Amino acid sequence: MDIDETKGKIVSVLKRIYDPEIPVDIYELGLIYDINLDEHGIADIVMTLTSPNCPVADSIVNEVIVKIKEIDEIIDVNMQLTFDPPWDSSMASEVAQLQLGIL
């Protein structure tokens, strides 16, 4: 397995998952803090949400896990949800900030 190529596939998947309240994907929003992948196909994802009180938190986290597991090279996903540091709009990519009208 090519780890860099598989990480690219993970990023591609994450760019197709949207926060239901914001019309920007979770990757460009900066909700993904870290992606690690070992040679056995175990992906460790550290992510946050725009708010600790997000009413759809479970569905977003589950969607991330399910869709990453659909990648052939991925055997399992370990998800860590964190709010440290808390998300703010400065964590979003320039593309996302333009879409949100921040820039």
| 47-68 pLDDT, tens digit each | 999 988 888 888 999 999 999 9
Report the candidate in 87, 10, 72, 82 with the shortest Cα–Cα distance to residue 43.
Answer: 10
- Which pTM does this prediction carry? 0.92
pLDDT value of position 54:
82
Architecture of domain 3-97: 2-Layer Sandwich (3.30)
Tokens (6 digits) for 36: 């690690």
pLDDT of residue 103 exceeding 80: no
Burial of 47 (0-12, 13-18, 19+ CB in 10 A): buried
pLDDT of residue 21 exceeding 90: no
pLDDT value of position 99:
87
- Give the length of the chain: 103
Domain boundaries, the chain: 3-97
